[in-house]
Amino acid sequence: MSVRTAALSLLARTAAILLGCLGAPPAMADQGITASEVRFAQIAAVTGPTASLGTGMRDGIEAAFAEANRNGGVHGRMLRLDTRDDGYDPARSVPVLRDVLREDAHIALIGATGTPTMAAMHPLTSAAGLPVIGPFTGAAFLRDAELGNVFNLRASYAAEAEEWAKFLVDTRGMKRIAILYQDDSFGRAGQSGLIAALQRRGLTPVAEGTYMRNTVAVKAALIDIRRSKPEAVALVAVAGPITEFVLSAQSLEFTPSYISISFGAEEIAAELGSDGAGMVMSQIVPSPHDPAMPVAAVFRTALAAQDPALQPGFINFEGYLTGRLAIAALQAAGPALTRERYLEALRGLREVDIDGLTLNFSPTDNQGLDKVFLTEIDPDGAIVPMAGG
């Protein structure tokens, strides 16, 4: 038995013990499937400082589902999404997931938001055989195809970090790079990815600073990073701490280059405005306004039909693509739908064409998109693609 297989076996046994504590599911549970509809669950932050992430994913998924429903659903079934709030707090995620598993009234978990929350939930989802579709995280632990129940849309944090290093070091010739990261599994995933990318180029970060999740307490990190005189600061953080760091740095006349991870670009740009000019932000989906991408126009139409007040952005575009991925698997599963057949359909996906955007899966690859797109904030505070990004 390999080390990885042994570790997965231990994880499954541990999760089974946890799952056994949930009690028996309701006798009338249908796992979200009836003759007329199929239901998905989302567990994400829809309140608190990262609410824009959960609501953005929700809005995009609902736009995809409503689009399908207007065309008769999938094999005659209407698609429904039930969103439950965890406030981006793993201590809340697990009880909410336990409720979902007890009810046994959803075919899959879709659009869950965050690395620390998914780290807490994924032993239970694995033990239950619950499909997990398009979690909003690039964490490496979810990119092991042997898990068998996780199907990612987005590129990994390691891939984003590699693009940062290519841009900062290979293109711009910088050597003094610092990093601010959230002190949890999300932040450490991005930190380790950047350290590895820099090491491949014979470099190490000149400084590292941290802050606690669901806070904007970045002052101590700012002082430490400023002291190291970096040319650039990589930001593995959510919107609030990023804007606090940048604006506080400017008040101290500390103006390095910035590059940030794909976590709330629109909110960052809205908060910083022209003060964010020049900040580079990696994205894991194309621009929702890209004229060369037919799916972008289809998405904008679907979003406007869902709610004319919603503005197209990278997060709700990711949610929409995640919804389309779930729909593709429903179509492949056929009309005699069960959770087991749905899981097998997800595992059987290879090339998924979403109006010109192709997702690629294989038995050894559970991640559909690999490309990372670089954008920047322009002098007017708008997010624009970088040339060649």
| Residue 240 near residue 272, CB atoms below 8 Å | no
Dist. CA 126–CA 132, nearest whole Å: 9
| Residue 325 near residue 358, CB atoms below 8 Å | no
Paired tokens of 54: 């959960």
Q: What is the pLDDT of residue 12?
A: 44
Dist. CA 201–CA 71, nearest whole Å: 51
**What integer is the mean pLDDT of 25-32?**
59
Q: Which residues contact 36 (CB under 8 A, 6 or more apart)?
A: 76, 77, 78
At 57-116, the pLDDT tens digits run: 999 999 999 999 999 999 999 999 999 999 999 999 999 999 999 999 999 999 999 999
5-19, 22-36, 261-275: which is most confident: 261-275
Nearest C-alpha neighbor of 75 from the set 305, 323, 327: 327
Tell whether 184 and 129 lie within a shared domain: no
Please report, to the nearest 10 degrees, the dihedral formed by the alpha carbons of residues 180, 183, 185, 189 taken in order: 20
Tell whether 57 and 91 lie within a shared domain: yes
Half-sphere exposure of 33 (CA within 13 A, CB side): 16
The SS3 of residue 371 is coil
Tell whether 136 and 178 lie within a shared domain: no
At 289-345, the pLDDT tens digits run: 999 999 999 999 999 999 999 999 999 999 999 999 999 999 999 999 999 999 999
pLDDT at 23 over 50: no
CATH of the domain at 224: 3.40.50.2300
**What integer is the mean pLDDT of 19-31?**
50
Domain count along the chain: 2
Tell whether 35 and 140 lie within a shared domain: yes
pLDDT at 3 over 50: no
Does residue 99 fall inside a structural domain? Answer: yes
| Residue 272 near residue 259, CB atoms below 8 Å | no
Paired tokens of 216: 């904007």
Nearest C-alpha neighbor of 104 from the set 39, 54, 18, 37: 39
Q: What is the pLDDT of residue 13?
A: 47
pTM: 0.91
* Rounded percentage of the chain residues whose pLDDT exceeds 70: 92
Tell whether 134 and 38 lie within a shared domain: yes
Separation in Å, CA 383 to CA 67, 177, 250, 274: 27, 23, 20, 11
Tell whether 137 and 174 lie within a shared domain: no
Dist. CA 94–CA 302, nearest whole Å: 32
pLDDT at 205 over 60: yes
Tell whether 81 and 170 lie within a shared domain: no
Does residue 11 fall inside a structural domain? Answer: no
Tell whether 163 and 149 lie within a shared domain: no
Q: What is the pLDDT of residue 389?
A: 53
Dist. CA 373–CA 286, nearest whole Å: 7
Which domain covers residue 248, as residue numbers? 157-261
Dist. CA 27–CA 9, nearest whole Å: 29
pLDDT at 252 over 60: yes
The SS3 of residue 357 is strand
Dist. CA 165–CA 386, nearest whole Å: 15
Does residue 269 fall inside a structural domain? Answer: no
Does residue 385 fall inside a structural domain? Answer: no
Q: What is the pLDDT of residue 150?
A: 98
Q: Which pairs from 23-27 meet CB under 8 Å and 24+ separation?
A: 23/102, 25/101, 25/102, 25/103, 25/104, 26/102, 26/103, 26/104, 26/105
Tell whether 163 and 144 lie within a shared domain: no
Tell whether 136 and 174 lie within a shared domain: no
Tell whether 150 and 202 lie within a shared domain: no
Q: What is the pLDDT of residue 388?
A: 59
Q: What is the pLDDT of residue 330?
A: 98
Look at 9 and 160; give whichever has higher pLDDT: 160
pLDDT at 187 over 80: yes
Quote the strand ranges of the chain, DSSP E. Answer: 37-44, 78-85, 109-110, 132-133, 150-151, 177-182, 207-211, 232-236, 257-260, 280-283, 351-354, 357-360, 373-377, 383-385
Does residue 280 fall inside a structural domain? Answer: no
pLDDT at 256 over 90: yes
Does residue 38 fall inside a structural domain? Answer: yes
Does residue 10 fall inside a structural domain? Answer: no
Band (pLDDT 50/70/90 cuts) for residue 1 is very low
Q: What is the pLDDT of residue 201?
A: 98
Does residue 4 fall inside a structural domain? Answer: no
Paired tokens of 87: 């406030």
Tell whether 252 and 305 lie within a shared domain: no
Residue at a domain's end among 261, 283, 302 = 261
Q: Are strands 257-260 and 373-377 parallel, antiparallel or unpaired?
A: unpaired
| Residue 184 near residue 213, CB atoms below 8 Å | yes
The per-residue pLDDT of the chain, averaged, comes to 93
DSSP 131-147: -EE--B---GGG--GGG
Q: What is the pLDDT of residue 264?
A: 86
pLDDT at 215 over 70: yes
